[in-house]
Amino acid sequence: MASNAQIKPQPSPPRSPSPPPVDRTNWEHSVEAHKINTLTVHDVGLIVFNETQSGTHSDKANDTIGGAREKVAPAVINADSQFGRGRPKTAPATEPTGKAIRDPRTNAAYDSSLRAAREAYLSPTDPTQGATYFNLRRNADRSDYKPGGPHGPQFKIRTQSGPFDNSFPTSGKQGLPPHGIYINTYGSK
């Protein structure tokens, strides 16, 4: 017996609700509270910020300034892990002022530095291969780093990022010009 009844299409299953947005702020603060040795991850981010905030990207650079921060952060972490309070001298881990952080460029450098510290702390790999020193150079010199002078220990270059522009040029023999800044990391031979 043939039926003239039309078969109605079945309704599609209801869509699954979207998950609620994740507030990463609590997670970020939790990671930043972890202590390495004498420094917290947040301290590392502040050191990276205070050391690199004057650096800005240049069309000639082999890396972004954020990428350079991602190399400085593991060097600070490695140094704190190995040497604690005896780690190589860096800028202090101080927060920028409220006025400074309202500046969009400063705020971006701050966020980038804290992100670099969190990622370095959580990463199973180290792009610096164990570097414990870093510095900002006025040229692309790749020679060993000798923090104790010509007769002190020598540390082999691990990474070099740059050249970057520098919004805070300084004068003198160790000063940094407004252009052509390199950020290097160094480790034991």
- 181-to-45, 166, 172 alpha-carbon distances in Å: 20, 7, 15
Q: Is 60 exceeded by the pLDDT of residue 2?
A: no
> For the chain, what percentages of helix, strand and coil (3-state, to nearest 5) are there?
35, 15, 50
Query: What pLDDT digit, counting tens, does each position of 103-157 carry?
Result: 999 999 999 999 999 999 999 999 999 999 999 999 999 999 998 888 889 999 9
Q: Which residue has the tokens 């702020």?
A: 25
- This prediction's pTM: 0.85
HSE-CB at 135 with a 13 A cutoff on CA atoms is 21
Confidence of residue 90 (pLDDT cuts 50, 70, 90): very high
